[in-house]
């Protein structure tokens, strides 16, 4: 195995594990003491501050990056994606996030690559994608009677997966390094969040237990917002968009484990 492939696989595995933890932390946060906006502040504000020195060199409008591609990067990997996931976590458990969002990403990525670049989907890859789609259908059908409100969260997770697939396709060829990409996406996300905060505020950051805020700051901001985004972009750069998106299927397995009750009570 060559070094490039090894680094890509390790980055993909790290991104999958971080994403799995983020799902559980987000579900816990929005069902206890914090809301989607509060978590979004931590998710994008902390890495934006940490990466500010790099942003000052890269700029909000990186040289050579088309404006349309920049918009799609922020839309798919930044605040709009995050708010869909965090809002969905209020309606459906982390197991559903693992199945519907992570399972949809490789499907939407393959479809986007086909439409945008004419990439063929055939052989084992097609069979794998069909198996993922079939598994999602089976899981969705089996969970319909579980809770009437779950479908709302499931729909938001699928929409979030569509945005993440767009981001996956747009980063490859952007000319940005993973760290530059993280700096730009988080900076634009917090700028987009500011008008929302001026109107709605984030009062639960002041009323929630400080231990909860600290743990979410670490999980949302440092682990997911910084390390998770960077490792996923490294996976895209080393493995390609389609292969990197398949790493999210590791999260489907963890979601199935959660749904089966193997890890204890539902989260």
CA distance 155 to 160: 9
Give the tokens for residue 262. Answer: 């193997």
Residue 233, domain member (yes or no): yes
Give the residue with greater pLDDT, 139 vs 16: 16
Mean pLDDT, the chain, as a whole number? 85
- Which residues, including other chains, have CB under 8 Å from residue 25's CB and lie 6 or more apart? 215, 216, 219, 220, 224
Q: Which of 49, 29, 88 has the alpha carbon at shortest distance from 222?
A: 49
Give the residue numbers spanning the domain of 192.
3-260
Are 173 and 37 in contact by the 8 Å Cβ rule? The answer is no
pTM: 0.85
Are 228 and 23 in contact by the 8 Å Cβ rule? The answer is no
Tell me if residue 93 falls in helix, strand or coil: coil
Residue 162, domain member (yes or no): yes
List, for residues 218-242, the tens digit of each pLDDT value.
Answer: 999 999 999 999 999 999 998 888 7
Residue 142, domain member (yes or no): yes
Give the residue with greater pLDDT, 70 vs 243: 70
Residue 111, domain member (yes or no): yes
List, for residues 90-137, the tens digit of each pLDDT value.
Answer: 888 877 887 788 778 888 888 888 777 777 776 777 777 777 777 777
Q: Is residue 39 scored above 60 in pLDDT?
A: yes
- Which residues, including other chains, have CB under 8 Å from residue 118's CB and lie 6 or more apart? none
- Which residues, including other chains, have CB under 8 Å from residue 158's CB and lie 6 or more apart? 100, 101, 104
Please state the domain count of the chain. 1
List, for residues 40-84, the tens digit of each pLDDT value.
Answer: 999 999 999 999 999 999 999 999 999 999 999 999 999 999 999
Please report which residue ranges of the chain form alpha helices under DSSP H: 3-30, 36-50, 52-58, 67-77, 79-88, 94-96, 102-117, 123-143, 150-171, 178-200, 204-207, 210-216, 229-239, 241-246, 249-260
Residue 265, domain member (yes or no): no
């Amino acid at each position: 195995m060559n070094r490039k492939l090894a680094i890509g696989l390790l980055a993909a595995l790290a991104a999958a594990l971080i994403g799995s933890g983020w799902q559980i932390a987000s579900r816990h946060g929005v069902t206890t003491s914090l809301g989607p906006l509060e978590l979004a502040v931590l998710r994008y504000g902390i890495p934006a501050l940490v990466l500010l020195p790099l942003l000052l060199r890269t700029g909000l409008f990186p040289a050579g990056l088309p404006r349309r591609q920049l918009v799609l990067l922020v839309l798919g990997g930044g605040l709009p994606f995050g708010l869909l996931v965090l809002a969905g976590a209020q309606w459906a458990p982390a197991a559903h996030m693992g199945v519907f969002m992570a399972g949809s990403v490789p499907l939407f990525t393959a479809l986007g690559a086909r439409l945008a670049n004419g990439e063929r989907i055939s052989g084992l890859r097609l069979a794998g994608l069909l198996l993922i789609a079939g598994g999602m259908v089976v899981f969705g059908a089996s969970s319909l009677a579980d809770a009437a409100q779950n479908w709302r969260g499931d729909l938001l997770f699928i929409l979030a997966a569509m945005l993440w697939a767009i981001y996956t396709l747009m980063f490859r060829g952007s000319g940005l390094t993973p760290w530059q990409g993280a700096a730009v996406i988080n900076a634009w996300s917090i700028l987009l969040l500011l008008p929302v905060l001026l109107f709605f505020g984030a009062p639960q950051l002041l009323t929630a237990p400080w231990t909860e805020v600290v743990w979410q700051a670490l999980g949302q901001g440092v682990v997911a917002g910084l390390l998770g985004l960077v490792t996923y972009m490294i996976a895209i750069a080393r493995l390609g968009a389609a292969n990197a998106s398949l790493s999210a299927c590791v999260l489907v397995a963890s979601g199935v484990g959660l749904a089966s009750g193997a890890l204890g009570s539902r989260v």
